[in-house]
Structure 1
C-alpha cells in the first residue's frame, strides 16, 4: 500500500487518493474576443501551481491524504452522505482498514488547505492566499459542501485579494477578463454580496460575448448575465431600427429634408464604427452593452442651415436624446434595474 503524502490524522480511517493532481484549471479559451490574463506574478502568498491560461503540463503522480471520517462528516455534507450511503466508500476495506475515497483533477495544495481546515489544524492554514488559490478553494468548497467550516477563513483571505475585484472603471468599455470569471465564482460560493453585485454588473455591461464559464460552477450566473446582455442589446438595436424606419417614412423629422438629413446621418454613423453586428444575429459577438451605448453617445447630430435665414436647423438625432436614455427607459431596458432584479419582466 502506498504511503500517504499528507497525514491529517495519523490514526485516520479515510484514505483519499487524488488522481491527476494539478489539472489545468479554468482554461482560458475565448482569446479572440476577450483579453488574455496577465502573467502570473510571484507572490509571498500561497499560490496555485497551474498556469493562468490552463496550459497542459506533464501528468503527476497521485497524491494521498490520510483523513478522519469523523472530521469530514461533521464539516462536509458531501462526506456525511457518502459515509452513510450504500456506496463502497461507506465501508472500510477489510485488508487496509481504510475507507477509500477517490478524487481527481483538484489542485493538491488547495485540497491540503481545505483538509487542514476541516481537521481543525488552524496553525497550518495560510492566512493569505492569492486569487488563483482562492478560486480553486471555492470550487472545492462548493463541491464538498463545507461552506460553514470555511467562513472564518474566507473573511481572513478576502481583504488580501479584494483589490483585484474588477471594477466598472477597469473594465470600461469592452473588457471582460479571466479574473472577472474567478470573482464571479468566489462571490457566488462564499456569498459575498457586495462583490457579487459589482462583478455581476461588470459582466452584464462589459462582456462582449456570452460569458465563459471556464468549466466552473457558475452556469446559472452566466445564464442570467447572457440573458440581460442579449435583452439589452436587442432592445437598443430595435430602437435604432425604429428611428431609421421613422426617418425613412417621414414620421420623424419636421420635413422631408429634415428626415432625409437625419436618416443619412444615422445610417452613416451606424456604419462607421460598426455599431450593429454584420449578421444582426445573436449572440452579437464583439459587442457589449457598454461599448454600444458609448459609441452611440458619439453620434451627435448633423448641423445644417436654411438658406433663407442662415439659422441652424433645430432638429436633433433621437429628438435630442443622444444617449438614448429616455428611449431605453420607455422600452423597459433599464439596465440597472435588470441587474438588481434579473427576474424582472420587461416590456
Structure 2
C-alpha cells in the first residue's frame, strides 16, 4: 500500500489514493518505522512569515489538528537500513539496540515531524525500490530529504540518485541556484553542504555574506554552528571595515588641515560639500545618528548588507556639480573670470572602501565544515 502525502509538485512522481497510512517498502521487513505528526518540514523565509530570524513554519490551526492525527507506518528491513546508516546500525545492532516489545513481533521505531513524502522516498532508495523513486524532485523535497540524509548519515547510499536530481535542477533556469539571497539560496546552500557540491557551496556562502541584512537566516535547517558563525562574522567584519574607512574619511573632511586634491585653494568649499553628502549617506544608508556619540551602528547590523553599501556607493552617490575659480590671488578676488567644474567626487573617494569590504568576504570551502559536525 502506498503513501497519500505525495508532493503534488514533484515531477514524474505517481499520485496515490488518499487515506492510506501503512506502506510496505519491504513486505517481509522486520521493522515498522512509524512517523507521527508529519509534514512539519516547512521552510519559510521571514518576509513570507512576517517574523524575524530563524523563521519557523506558520501555525495553521485547522491543518495542525489534522496533522496531529497523522501516522504513517513504513514496513522496512533492518538489514537495509543498517547497511546504509551508522545511526540505524547502532539502533538495530549496537550494545543499546532497541528490541521488539514482544518476542516474535516486529520492532517499532517512532519518529516525529519529518515530511512523509521525504521519508517515503528515502526509505525507497535505501531498499532499492526504484519503482517508488521519482526521476525529479522539487527543491523543497530535495531539501527535506537532505535533512534526513544528514540526520541518518546515509550520504553514500543516496549519492547516485540525489546527484541526478541536483543535476536536473541545476540545468533548469527556473530551479538552478539563484543569484540573489533568499529562501531558495539557503535551501540550495544546505543541499550543497550535505551532498558535497563544492562550487555551489562556496558561491552561495559568499552570497549569504554579501547580501544578508542580519544574522544568517537558517529557516530551521541544521547548519553546523561553526558555519553559521563564519557567515555572520565575515559579514560583520566586511561592514565594519567599510564603516571604519567611511568614518575616517568623515574625520579627515572635518579637519581644517584637509587639502582638496583637485583645487587646494578651494579646500574649505570642497570639504563642506563632500561632508554634507557624506552625512546624508551615513544617515540614510547606515542609519547613524551623526549628532550622537553613540550613533554608530553595531553588530549584528540589522538592515545593512555589503550589497546595499556597494550599490549605495557605486549607484547612489551622484557627482555633485559645482564650479570654482581657477585660483584666488587675494581674499575674495577671482583671477580668472572662467571657473572650472570641480573634479572631486565622494563616490570616487569611497569606491576603494567597497573593494576592501568585498575582500573581507572569504571563499568558504566544504573542507572547513565537515558533514559530521553537529548542527547549531
Using structure 2 for the length normalisation, give the TM-score.
0.75
1:130 aligns with 2:158: no
SS at match of 2:109: strand
Of the three residues 169, 187, 194, the one matched with 1:189 is 194
Q: Which residue of 1 aligns with 2:346?
A: 317
After TM superposition, the structure 1 = structure 2 runs for residues 159-174 of structure 1, keeping only pairs within 5 Å, are 159-162=167-170, 163=173, 164-168=175-179, 171=180
Q: Is 1:339 aligned with 2:339? A: no
- 1:263 maps to which of 257, 271, 275: 275
**Cα-to-partner distance string for 1:85-124 (whole Å, 9 max, x where unaligned):** 34352x2332452222111101111101111111111232
| Residues 1:243 and 2:244 are matched in the alignment | no
Q: TM-score, normalised by structure 1?
A: 0.80
After superposition, residues 1-347 of structure 1 pair within 5 angstroms as 5-29=22-46, 31=48, 54-56=58-60, 57=63, 58-59=66-67, 60-87=69-96, 89=98, 91-162=99-170, 163=173, 164-168=175-179, 171=180, 176-220=181-225, 221-254=227-260, 255-271=267-283, 273-276=284-287, 280-297=297-314, 298-307=316-325, 308=334, 309=336, 310-317=339-346, 320-325=348-353, 328-329=355-356, 334-335=359-360, 338-340=362-364
In the alignment, which residue of structure 2 is the partner of 1:38?
Answer: none
Equivalent pairs counted in the alignment come to 312
> Using the alignment, how far apart are the partners of 1:116 and 1:138 within structure 2?
15
Question: Residue by residue, what CA displacement relative to the aligned partner does 1:193-226 show, whole Å, maximum 9, x if unpaired?
Answer: 1221221122111122212111111143332221
Range moving further from structure 2, 20-29 or 138-147: 20-29
Q: Does the aligned pair in 1 maintain the 2:178–2:184 contact within 8 Å?
A: no
Please say if residues 198 and 365 of structure 2, whose CA atoms lie closer than 8 Å, have aligned partners that are also in contact.
Answer: no
Query: RMSD of aligned C-alpha atoms?
Result: 2.8
Bigger shift: residues 258-267 or 232-241: 258-267
Distance 1:206 1:230 in 2: 12
Gaps of 5+ in 2: 1-19, 261-266, 290-294, 326-333, 369-376
In the alignment, structure 1 segments of 5+ residues that lack a partner are 35-51
Equivalence for 1:46:
none
Contact 1:277 1:285 in 2 (8 A): no
Deviation at 1:84, TM superposition (A): 2.8
Q: Check conservation: 1:24, 1:54, Cα contact below 8 A.
A: no
Query: Are the aligned partners of 1:301 and 1:317 in contact in 2 as well (CA < 8 Å)?
Result: yes
How far the C-alpha of 1:4 sits from its partner, in A, is 7.2
CA deviations on 1:164-198 (whole Å, 9 max, x unpaired) are 23433xx2xxxx32112211111111111122122
Distance (whole Å) between structure 1 residues aligned to residue 298 and residue 163 of structure 2: 44
- Structure possessing the higher radius of gyration over alpha carbons: 2
Is the Cα–Cα contact under 8 Å of residues 26 and 54 in structure 1 kept in the other structure? no
1:54, CA displacement in angstroms? 4.7
Higher mean alpha-carbon deviation, 277-286 vs 8-17, is at 277-286
Deviation at 1:69, TM superposition (A): 0.8
**SS where residue 186 of structure 2 aligns?**
helix
SS for the counterpart of 1:64 is strand
